[in-house]
Amino acid sequence: MKLLSNSLFKHQEGFAFIVVLSILALVTGLALVSFSTSDTDRKISANYYETTNAYYAAEAGVVRTCAKLKDSLSWRGTYSGVPVAGGRGKYDVVIYDSIQFPVLKDSLLIKSTGKIPGSPGSESVIEALVAPKKVRRFRYAAFGDTLLRLGGTTLVDAYNSDSGSYSPYGMGGDLGSNDEIYLEGTTDVYGDATTPDTIQSSFNVNIYGTEDQSAPADPLDPITAEEMAYAQANNRAPAGLTLTGGATYNAATGRLWASGVGNNITMVSGTYYYNDIELQSGAQLIIPSGENVIIYLADSLYAAGATLVNNSLKAENLQIYSTGSTVNLTGSAAMYAAIYAPNAQIVVDGNSNLYGSVIGKSVYLDGTAGIHYDRNLTKRLASGGYKVVAWKVL
């Protein structure tokens, strides 16, 4: 009985060995499967990471191209292998217009390809359809991008020159800034005052519209290189000028100058391009009734004790666009004009009343001045670059 029992145990030891080997094989197989799955997951994650970076690179290409087109509407260049700041990706960009695809008309197709160096399988392609964007530059009575300050005795209101002559205290005539607004002295504002920053006003200030200190930023659109080039190529000076007394125009330097009573400059309809304009001591810049004048300045406008005479009494008939840093208007006469100088410090001083709109980097009004917004300017549209209207990831 004892011998039989030992014999059975010996046979069971061989079976146990087989069972142990089977279990070890199973565990090893599971480990290998788990390792393979983990490796696959790692590769999938890595590929997703690289593809995501490639997408962001392609997106960066579209954003940069839109910014370039805002600055230069006719730009049709390309980008190749441009690295993304702070990232691993690079992008290539090609622009298609109506020359390649007539169906586009005035729209553009931006094709941006994002790539990750060293990862050939990681690529993302975005096609963005962009259309021209129109903006209303003269949507405020006065707007100072970095500062708006009104002092002295100032009246801000609105009227519509298409409906008749100015009548005081009309509702409208908004003030705006992307920074602080200071309202001092005796100031009455018959429109809104809006900024994402703060509005500081003294005791004798009245705002009859809405006062908003949490408004979204309202960035000024640049005067494009195309606008300036067009004005220079189609400059009506000197043919469109009549100079009396000692008024002068220097075609070589682009300087228009007059000083003293009787020394006047008259302009007929057209687009004019100057480097700078300086008027002093009773000199006049005259726009006859019925004439429509648009002036582009590369530098400053300085009118001290001089007058901008717009006989049509409509701001749209005298539009001044400046890429310079200074616009200075002092005196006591009424001025009917729309002034857009996004890089300039604009000062309106003395007893000047401006009927129209004044937009600059900073705007300062003092003395017994007034800004009487002409609502007729809202119909004046300018190109504001391109906006994305459709977006597809290939």
330 or 29: which leads in pLDDT: 330
Rounded CA-CA distance 229/234 in Å is 9
pLDDT of residue 288: 97
Which pLDDT does position 72 carry in this prediction? 80
Asked if 193 and 205 touch (Cβ cutoff 8 Å), the reply is no
Give mean pLDDT, residues 70-92.
88
- The 10 Å Cβ neighbour count of residue 38 is 10
How many angstroms separate the CA atoms of 280 and 263, rounded?
9
Cα–Cα distance measured from residue 261 to residue 62, given in angstroms and rounded to the nearest whole number: 55
How far apart CA 151 and CA 189 sit, in angstroms, is 12
Helix (H, G, I), strand (E, B) or coil at 14: helix
Strand partners, 143: 176, 359
Which residue in the block uniquely carries the two structure tokens 């582009």?
Answer: 296
Decide if 297 contacts 318 (C-beta within 8 A). no
Q: Quick check: 87 pLDDT over 80? A: no
Asked if residue 298 has pLDDT above 60, the reply is yes
304-319 burial, b at 16+ Cβ within 10 Å, e below that, comes to bbbbbbbebebbbbbb
pLDDT tens digits, 53-67:
899 999 999 999 998
For residues 319-340, give the mean pLDDT: 92
User: Is the Cβ–Cβ distance between 285 and 305 less than 8 Å?
Assistant: no
225 within 8 A of 231, measured Cβ to Cβ? no
| Amino acid (one-letter) located at 369 | A
Q: Do 229 and 296 contact (CB within 8 A), yes or no? A: no
Q: Which residue has the higher pLDDT, 225 or 216?
A: 216
pLDDT at 43 > cutoff 60: no
pLDDT at 199 over 90: yes
Q: pLDDT higher for 98 or 36?
A: 98
For residue 9, pLDDT over 80 is answered with no
Which residues have a Cβ under 8 Å from the Cβ of 303 and sit 6 or more positions away?
A: 277, 278, 279, 280, 285, 328, 329, 330, 331
- Select the more confidently predicted residue: 378 or 181: 181
CA 107 to each of CA 66, 77, 362: distance values in angstroms, whole numbers, following the listed order: 12, 16, 34
Structure tokens at 90: 């690079």
Residue 8 above 60 pLDDT? Answer: no
Going by the DSSP 8-state scheme, the letter that residue 325 receives in this structure is S
Closest by Cα among 179, 235, 246, 169 to 208? 169
Tens digits of residue pLDDT in 233-274: 999 999 999 999 999 999 999 999 999 999 999 999 999 999
Closest CA to 340 of 224, 172, 209: 224
Pairwise CA distance, residues 278 & 261, whole Å: 14
pLDDT in tens, 275-285: 999 999 999 99
Sorting pLDDT into bands at 50, 70 and 90, what band is 86? confident
37 contact partners, CB below 8 Å, separation of at least 6:
none
Mean predicted confidence (pLDDT) in 81-110? 91
Q: Are the CB atoms for 64 and 92 separated by under 8 Å?
A: no
Place of tokens 């003030």: 175
Predicted local confidence at residue 1, as pLDDT:
47
Token code pair at residue 56: 């962001």
Angle at 350 between CA 373 and CA 223, to 5 degrees: 50
Domain ranges of the chain: 11-134, 142-383
pLDDT at 333 exceeding the cut of 80: no
- The CA-to-CA distance between both ends of the chain, in Å, stands at 82
For residue 183, report the phi and psi dihedrals to the nearest 5 degrees: -120, 115
Provide the pLDDT for residue 174: 97
